[in-house]
Amino acid sequence: MRAITIEQPGGPEALRWTEVPDPVPAHDEVLIEVRAAGVNRADLLQRQGHYPPPAGAPPYPGMEVSGRIVQVGPGSHPWEVGQDVCALISGGGYAELAVAPVGQLLPVPRNTTVEDAAALPEVAATVFSNIVDVAGIRPGETLLVHGGGSGIGTFAVQLGKALGAHVVTTARQGKHEALTRLGADRVIDYTVEDFSATVKADVILDIIGGAYLAGNVKALNEGGRLVVIGMQGGRKAELDLGALLAKRGSVFATALRSRSLAQKASIIRGVREEVWPLIDEGLIGPVVHSRVPMPDAAEAHRLMESSEHFGKIILTRP
């Protein structure tokens, strides 16, 4: 098969469309003929040499795919050859074939194409596990989503609204109208306004990290929960424990890729039970900014690095 390989850590030009050995599904795994793969910030970090795949995962980037099952490994499960699926994987999605554990498979939702379904597994699992499982968002609470125009952000705005939250998000001015259409009750232009001066949130989903830590703590309501899932603004910052204690606040830091198979399977079960019906009903859905041919993955990475996109970038098979 062909896959996008990383010639050596570096810029987008390091990505190459290359002949590599076909993967073989092991026990409780299936082989997927990839139709599309989602592009994530973690892929950019892997390309740069900062985020190696977990032990045993393919060396190629790509943590979510969609396509058709073409081979089933040994084991007892309901998945069969010929089914269209999307999947959360640990790596190897930028390829013609990819292996996925059966516990991380999802059916393609109704009213979603197989291609666009590649935009769902990573964001759905990340957002659901953090704002529902970790933070326990409740109807009527205020959810603050940083990076509203990202793949994570556009999905979090939709899911938060569907769960009955009051949703506030931060984004550049050019993305405000689209975020309002997705359900955001308020959009803040972070380039000119200090969100911490005007927002009080019960749950904050943060992809920025260090640069926003103090502001996030300031913005928390009493009993508020801050969940940090990214470090685009740095990995270190000073935490005012007095301010956090005064609010009885909580700070969580989570990652999805490094979790165990059992933990990921549990998250995917929750997504299928609680999120997939909302997608099937058309209440929320994938937001796809662009579809880039897989051999041109370098262009997709350049687009993501520019932060000019709104929603997900997906790679499609030629």
Q: DSSP assignment of 213-259, as one string?
A: HHHHHHHEEEEEEEEE---TT-S-----HHHHHHTT-EEEE--STTS
What is the average per-residue pLDDT within 67-86?
Answer: 96
pLDDT at 318 over 80: no
pLDDT at 175 over 90: yes
Q: How far is CA 296 from the centre of its chain?
A: 21
**Structural contact between residues 23 and 80, judged by C-beta atoms closer than 8 angstroms:** no
pLDDT at 209 over 90: no
**Structural contact between residues 153 and 307, judged by C-beta atoms closer than 8 angstroms:** no
Side chain identity at residue 66, one-letter code:
S
What is the average per-residue pLDDT within 102-125?
Answer: 97
> pLDDT confidence of 231, banded at 50, 70, 90?
confident
Stretch (H or E) spanning 87: strand 84-88
The DSSP bridge partners found for residue 314 are 38, 291
| Beta-strand pair 97-101/312-316 | unpaired
- SS3 at position 124: helix
Nearest residue to 61 (alpha-carbon basis) of 87, 86, 20, 93? 93
pLDDT at 261 over 90: yes
What is the average per-residue pLDDT within 190-204?
Answer: 95
The mean of the pLDDT values for the chain is 96
What is the average per-residue pLDDT within 88-108?
Answer: 98
pLDDT at 195 over 80: yes
> What is the DSSP secondary structure assignment for residue 141, as one 8-state letter?
-
User: Which has the higher per-residue pLDDT, 212 or 220?
Assistant: 220
pLDDT at 230 over 80: yes
> What is the DSSP secondary structure assignment for residue 95, as one 8-state letter?
B
pLDDT at 115: 98
> pLDDT confidence of 308, banded at 50, 70, 90?
very high
Side chain identity at residue 267, one-letter code:
I
Which residue is it, tokens 């490094």? Answer: 258
- SS3 at position 291: strand
The token pair at 221 is 């309501």
Residues 6+ apart with CB under 8 A from 62: 4, 37, 38, 43, 89, 91, 92, 93, 94, 95, 98, 315
Side chain identity at residue 200, one-letter code:
K
139-170 exposure pattern, b = at least 16 Cβ within 10 A, e = fewer = eebbbbbbbbbbbbbbbbbbbbbbbebbbbbb
Cα gap 93→31, rounded to integer Å: 11
pLDDT at 237: 87
Provide the whole-model pTM.
Answer: 0.95
pLDDT at 99: 98
What is the average per-residue pLDDT within 209-229?
Answer: 94
pLDDT at 76 over 90: no
pLDDT at 233: 82
Cα gap 177→297, rounded to integer Å: 29
pLDDT at 171 over 90: yes
User: Which has the higher per-residue pLDDT, 195 or 231?
Assistant: 195
